[in-house]
A and B are shown apart, each in its own frame.
Chain A
């Protein structure tokens, strides 16, 4: 069936990807089984690919797909009585936990995807599997695409997904939205998965393999969906704003030969100004109504960079202030380096070399060429850091040096450069620890690894 008009079929499949997540979530809700839901979702979409070009697109495509999928599920359950009995038992248990709401007949398809977000990002699943499941179930990527996106063999990815689904099934990880009281505990986990997909996409964008799916784009798409489902959760809004404001710079991030271009040297005319506008529009909501979360603060930093016409007119004092807030919320070496770079931009390069009261040593560290580059994990951060080193005025030799060694370091891969950025801080550990009581009062930084960094490392490092 797939061969039929490969080109147009591909385009139609793209259209179906949004439908796929909706349909899958509805079927999971109905049957309580991810495998069955996936199977019949795929079958229904394949049927549509065959029938619609012949019969025409039905007036209610979503309902057509759901009816088709349901019929196929019932067929399947009729053939396999044991399976049906097991599912019925599960259903009874699930109903006991939370009575299913009456079917929503007003909308064509009720949006059940929120529960899938929480299931895919459940803390009982291994970190690499969470991102893979989300891409597959909610973004509608195939196993092969998910594997290519993570640069692992398809068999590895297939096994990872099979194991995760087995755990969902046998440990009975529920398909449900956590209650309001659990949300503060569970939502950060979901955002972390989305952000790890996004940063993985950034690492990927420098790779040679053009057939890799655009992970950053997928992460934005998924975060948009989550934002629609949870419009009042400010950290969701913050994450979406951060992604948009960072992703808007993508065209200017690499030169003609694919080499990375520092923020200071980027042609800001090539930034995606529509995307920046969309991101900026979200920022006020992120920053009002109580203290912002870490994603909100990072979005605000990215917004300041995107709003500035060039490095000189960037609001560095404000950026330093935001990094102070961020280092209190989510302390990390990367944040410390970026803050130091911002301080150097605010006070001039000398601020980095004099006997420091606050950020001096960190500013010095920021001029080690590889360091700010490693911060590319959070591109907002990379922006600040990039300016701090490569963006220094021409008289500063370190700036030139950076330009020379930077690309090589960047080509060495994100993961390695990140380690480089962490190492100088680790070495200085003891000395800095002694200074801690003082620093606490000035609200500077601590040395623990940041959640996005460690989890993301975990994400890619412990592949099963």
Chain B
């Protein structure tokens, strides 16, 4: 799984650098992932201002709050789940991802293997 963190987030909670070139890069990357046949799933997440956090306390009471807001510089902006044979292949895809540039980062996490 490639977790795509935006490097910097503007006042309105939107990731910076969403100009035409960036959009084109993303479209190209997305197409490359699909064409390579490694795509399992992937989503781009809506702006952070739309986020809502749910916690359930020990007594079962539900608390719902607005946010979280960007307390850290990096905010999860989207993800890809890809099916590749090994870490090196995953790292190559991560390096090609536009989200890894411009102060952003891509965290590669293997999906846990539950049995099988």
Interface residues of A (CB under 8 A from B): 85-86, 89, 93-94, 96-97, 122, 124, 170-174, 176, 178
Contacts and interface: CB of A to CB of B under 8 A. Distances in A.
B85 A94 contact: yes
B91 interface: yes
Given A85-B116, A86-B116, A89-B116, A172 B85 contact: yes
Most B CB atoms within 10 A — which of A122, A172, A178? Answer: A172
Interface of B: 84-91, 108, 110, 112-113, 116
A93 B110 CA distance: 14
Nearest to A94: B85
Nearest to A86: B116
Given A89-B116, A170-B110, A94 B86 contact: yes
Residue from B86, B91, B110, B112 whose CB has the most chain A CB atoms within 10 Å: B86
A96 B88 CA distance: 14
Contacts of B108: 171
11 contacts: A96-B85, A97-B84, A97-B89, A124-B91, A171-B108, A172-B90, A172-B110, A173-B86, A174-B85, A174-B86, A176-B88
Contacts of A122: 87
B88 to A, nearest CB: 5
A89 B83 CA distance: 13
A149 B4 CA distance: 40
Given A97-B85, A124-B87, A172-B86, 9 more contacts: A86-B113, A86-B116, A94-B85, A124-B91, A170-B112, A172-B85, A173-B88, A174-B87, A174-B89
A97 B87 contact: no
B92 to A, nearest CB: 9
Contacts of B113: 86, 170
A248 to B, nearest CB: 38
A174 B110 CA distance: 13
B116 A173 contact: no
A171 B87 contact: yes
Nearest to B112: A170
A85 B115 CA distance: 10
Contacts of A94: 85-86
Nearest to A182: B88
B115 to A, nearest CB: 8
A122 B108 CA distance: 15
B88 A174 contact: yes
Given A124-B91, A171-B110, A93 B86 contact: yes
B87 A172 contact: yes
B2 to A, nearest CB: 13
Contacts of B89: 97, 174
Contacts of A86: 113, 116
A173 B87 contact: yes
A175 to B, nearest CB: 9
A124 B113 CA distance: 19
Q: Which 3 A-B pairs give the minimum distances between C-beta atoms?
A: A97-B85, A174-B86, A93-B85
Contacts of B88: 173-174, 176, 178
A174 B90 CA distance: 11
A171 B94 CA distance: 14
Contacts of A97: 84-86, 89
A94 B89 CA distance: 11
A85 B116 CA distance: 8
Nearest to B83: A93
Contacts of A89: 116
Nearest to B89: A97
A454 B86 CA distance: 29
Nearest to B91: A124
Nearest to B109: A171
Nearest to B92: A182
Contacts of B85: 93-94, 96-97, 172, 174
